[in-house]
Amino acid sequence: RVCGWPRSGGIRGGAAMDLFGDLRRMNKRQLYYQVLNFAMIVSSALMIWKGLIVVTGSESPIVVVLSGSMEPAFHRGDLLFLTNFHDDPIRAGEIVVFKVEGRDIPIVHRVIKVHEKGNGNIKFLTKGDNNEVDDRGLYKEGQNWLEKKDVVGRARGFLPYVGMVTIIMNDYPKFKYALLAVMGAYVLLKRES
């Protein structure tokens, strides 16, 4: 050793050798147990997500604000909690998350106008608080109003800036994969005391 570093491979080589050494030292039963433990964590997270979908009535009960179009109400990175109960009427001033044809990412904006017809059909127009014009330019071509079917959910609460982790992982995919690999390795190699 020179200056406390192992001769073979430095930090990267040593860490990789430790990882493979830990895997080799585990017997098959321990390895199966760790894989099962990891699968239980993943399935528990999916069950919680599906439960939230049922309870909130929204296909996406938690979303992250990706732009500054709703400032000062919401900032980029805020985590929004949504509900989408179809019995509740949509009103002007309400903040909704909606999807339009041709766009993959939902949009978080405020309802500025509502047209309610006698048969119960509701159409509405949205706008970002920080935008100069309404959202007609964001809707699909020829669409001037949104309908209830376009709504993913309505904002009921938020946590400021908690979603920045999601934004960073989307902006830097290598960071996301590295984080997932470290978490997976930790769960698989963690030994019970």
Residues noted as catalytic: 69, 109, 135
What is the SS3 string spanning the chain? CECCECCCCHHHHHHHHHHHHHHHHCCHHHHHHHHHHHHHHHHHHHHHHHHHHHHHCCCCCEEECCCCCCCCCCCCCCEEEEECCCCCCCCCCCEEEECCCCCCCCEEEEEEEEEECCCCCEEEEEECCCCCCCHHHCCCCCCCCEEHHHEEEEEEEEECCCCHHHHHHHHCHHHHHHHHHHHHHHHHHCCCC
Dihedral (CA of 98, 101, 102, 104) sign: positive
Rounded Cα–Cα distance for residues 31 and 188 (Å): 7
By C-alpha distance, which of 171, 180, 145, 176 is closest to 66?
171
